[in-house]
Structure formats: C-alpha cells, structure tokens
A and B are shown apart, each in its own frame.
Chain A
C-alpha cells in the first residue's frame, strides 16, 4: 500500500494487439495499479473506466482505424500522481461521424468529464491520450 510513509514508483506497461476483446484485460490491470495508489474504490472505478475508454478509442471500432496494425500501448506510472498514457498508430477523429450511433454526443465527453487532466496528442506516429489523477 502506498498511502503514507515512503512512496515507491510503480511503472507498468501493457501492449495489446488491436482486439476489442483485450480491452477488458487492460481495465483489470489499470484497476490493480490504481488500487496500489488508493483504497478509494470510487477512484479505482474511475481509473478503470477512463483507461478502458481510452484504450477502446484507440483499439477502435472506428472505421478510420481499420487496417492500422500497430498495437496499443498503455503505460501507467504511480508517482505523486497516477499517470497513464495510451498510445497507438492511426488517428482518431476529433469529431463523431454523423451516421454514428452516438450522433450528437461529443466522442470525448466521457473522458473529459471523468478526468480534469486529460490531453490528446496527434502526430505522424499516431495518437497518444495522456491522463493523470492525484492520489486520494
């Protein structure tokens, strides 16, 4: 347990192929890492949801990611904060497709609503979603 006393850094990286079935595995790992930092189950649930959501976005049910073979890398570091970066090749559209099921809903609404420290970087290598939480 890291709360109180000397705090050591925990770093875990998980790489998965672009298979939606594996997103659940990443969620389980994210929850385990969050639990090392806090016993607050609400916090753990929030991290599980956010990391799963970010991972799902990059694994991509999205047609724009079809054919992108790069794996999805998730790195989590437990320091003064829990810092998570989810990265992959391909570019996730910033706006929803008009024909999508979630027509009219900002695609990042859930992530931005869940996390105050959330950013998206897009470059030639792909997309990286970064997020962090203070430990509770």
Chain B
C-alpha cells in the first residue's frame, strides 16, 4: 500500500490525514508535504495517523524533522495515534516523550 496524504484546515490547525505505510520509500512524500505546508506559513500541524499501517525509523525521522521545522516558527505538531503497534515504536525510541500524541482529532484540537 502506498502513502496517502490529505490535508485540511480546522480550528486554526492544518490536519494531515496519513494513510498506508510510512517507510524508507514513502517517507519523503510526507517530508515534502510538511516542508510545503511550513513554507506556506502553516506552523500548527496535526498529523492524523489513524490509517497508518506501518511506520519505520525513516518515518519517525520525518516526523522529528517536521517538529523541528514548526518549532523554529514557534509552531506545534500534534500526532493522532491510538494503534498500539505504532505507539510501541514511539515508546521504544523514546519519542513518546517528544511528541504530543492524542487518541483522536477531537482530543488533539481540544488542547490549547
């Protein structure tokens, strides 16, 4: 399965709904999308990973890179993820403490 990316604006945030597999092959597409959004002045991002089937360290690297980009503009990046197999990857790598990870879009957007 390839990577799908859909973006929309809501409540002052840019939500990127990601689907499929984020790996060494597809991660550059996500990186390019984040770079494009930040370049357009969208500094508050929500990455919805509910439909992500697979995530490897390349994908993690893109997320960390994105976090750095938005923070450079005093922005934020929140993740939506409630799949245990993905959460495990964030825990193993210590990134669960780096990212704000929410269980739903409502939770992610509710936090101010």
Interface residues of A, Cβ cutoff 8 Å to B: 20-21, 23-24, 27, 42, 45, 48-49, 52-53, 56, 59, 61, 100-103, 105, 107, 109-110, 113-114
Contacts and interface: CB of A to CB of B under 8 A. Distances in A.
Nearest to B28: A61
Given A105-B93, A110-B92, A110-B93, A100 B23 contact: no
Q: B-side binding surface: helix, strand, loop or mixed?
A: helix
Contact of A56 (B58, B65, B68): B58
Nearest to B65: A101
A105 B95 contact: yes
Interface of B: 21, 23-25, 31, 54, 56-58, 60-62, 64-65, 68, 85, 89, 92-95
Contacts of B93: 105, 109-110, 113
Contacts of A61: 24, 58
Contacts of B85: 42, 45, 49
A31 to B, nearest CB: 10
Contacts of A48: 54
Nearest to B56: A53
Q: A-side binding surface: helix, strand, loop or mixed?
A: helix
Nearest to B62: A101
Contacts of A56: 23-24, 56-58
B25 A53 contact: no
A110 B57 contact: yes
Given A21-B25, A110-B89, A110-B92, A101 B56 contact: no
A52 B21 CA distance: 12
Contact of A113 (B54, B62, B92): B92
Nearest to B63: A101
A102 B21 contact: no
B22 to A, nearest CB: 11
A59 B68 CA distance: 26
A101 B23 contact: no
A23 B25 contact: yes
